[in-house]
Amino acid sequence: MTDALIIGGGSGMGLALARTLLAEHMDVTIVGRSADRLAAARAELETAAEGRVGTVRADIGREEDVAGLFDRVGPVEHVVVTAADVTGAYGPSTGVASSAARAVLDTKLLGAWLVGKHAAGRVTGSITYTSGINAYRPNGSNTIVAAANGALTSLASGLAVELAPVRVNVVSPGWVDTPVWDQIGMDKQAAFTDMAGRLPAGRIGTVDDIAQAFLSVLRNGFVTGTVLHVDGGHRLV
Ligand SMILES: NC(=O)c1ccc[n+]([C@@H]2O[C@H](COP(=O)([O-])OP(=O)(O)OC[C@H]3O[C@@H](n4cnc5c(N)ncnc54)[C@H](OP(=O)(O)O)[C@@H]3O)[C@@H](O)[C@H]2O)c1
């Protein structure tokens, strides 16, 4: 049995979670599309992993990949999904191509559902999805990403009942410095400084803030059908 499957674990929050779970003596399989990214992540993790990290290439938006992933991995205690293809989907809707919007829905929403569908009968503990602050705090852009994030709440509620006693939850991060920001095309440091000054927490989130939130959701056997907001109070300002 694999302790944890992290779909999107080759970078950002997923990679931080892999590091956290390895430190908790769990074994981990990380999943993504890029073989190079997975190899680099594995090389980074291996020093602490002692052979406890596996990699699988799969695209969460393709049903044959998701089915093949669960066939290959077999029984798994926890599944965490951080994967999303948001390329070209940030900014006002007038500037977003429908192909980019479709890719968001295919990966972030339909991909999440495919994971629930193919994890059924194989996952024993929990599935945790990743949404995001823009579902709760519209800012005049990124609307299709926000819509997919919002829909994950309903998906997790439905699957929490459908797959019970497997627990199904959502972690909703605020702004966190990860590679996804490189696709957004803004002055990241200026935006982060401005946002940090507005947030009750007084700072931007770290990948470890989010990894700790995933860990608490994995560990707490009474949490299901819930969204855990880890956003420094962003929804309040
Ligand atoms: N960073 C933030 O401020 C923030 C805020 C709110 C919500 N979020 C959400 O948090 C989640 C994690 O993002 P992150 O910030 O950690 O960004 P990230 O470093 O870009 O992580 C995303 C990972 O998903 C993988 N991925 C993308 N498309 C995939 C696909 N179709 N199939 C399989 N894997 C795929 C990527 O690897 P490959 O490209 O190799 O596949 C990458 O390793 C995302 O859902 C994002 O929308 C982020």
Walk me through the domains of the chain, giving residue ranges and CATH numbers: 2-236 (3.40.50.720)
Q: Name the β-bridge partners of 167.
A: 126
Read off the pLDDT of residues 74-107 as tens digits, 9 standing for 90 and up. Answer: 999 999 999 999 999 999 999 999 999 999 999 9
| Mean pLDDT of all residues belonging to the chain | 96
Query: Residue 191 is which amino acid?
Result: A
pLDDT in tens, 115-152: 999 999 999 999 999 999 999 999 999 999 999 999 99
**Residue whose C-alpha is closest to residue 80's, from 219, 231, 235, 234:** 219
Smallest CA-to-CA distance from 127 within 2, 30, 17, 6 is with 6
Rg (CA), the chain: 17
Report which residue type is found at 34. S
Residue 5: its pLDDT value, please? 98
Which pLDDT belongs to residue 171? Answer: 99
CA-proximal residue: ligand 1, atom 16 (nearest): 12
Q: What is the mean pLDDT of residues 27-37?
A: 98
Q: How far is the CA of 139 from the centre of ligand 1 (A)?
A: 20
The burial class, CB within 10 Å (0-12 / 13-18 / 19+), for 27 is middle
CA-to-CA distance for 99 and 165, rounded, in angstroms? 37
Sign of CA dihedral 116, 77, 122, 53: positive
- 63-80 pLDDT, tens digit per residue, is 999 999 999 999 999 999
Of all protein residues, whose CA lies closest to atom 32 belonging to ligand 1?
Answer: 59
- Residues 20-37 have a mean pLDDT of 97
For the question of whether the overall pTM of this predicted structure is more than 0.95, the answer is yes
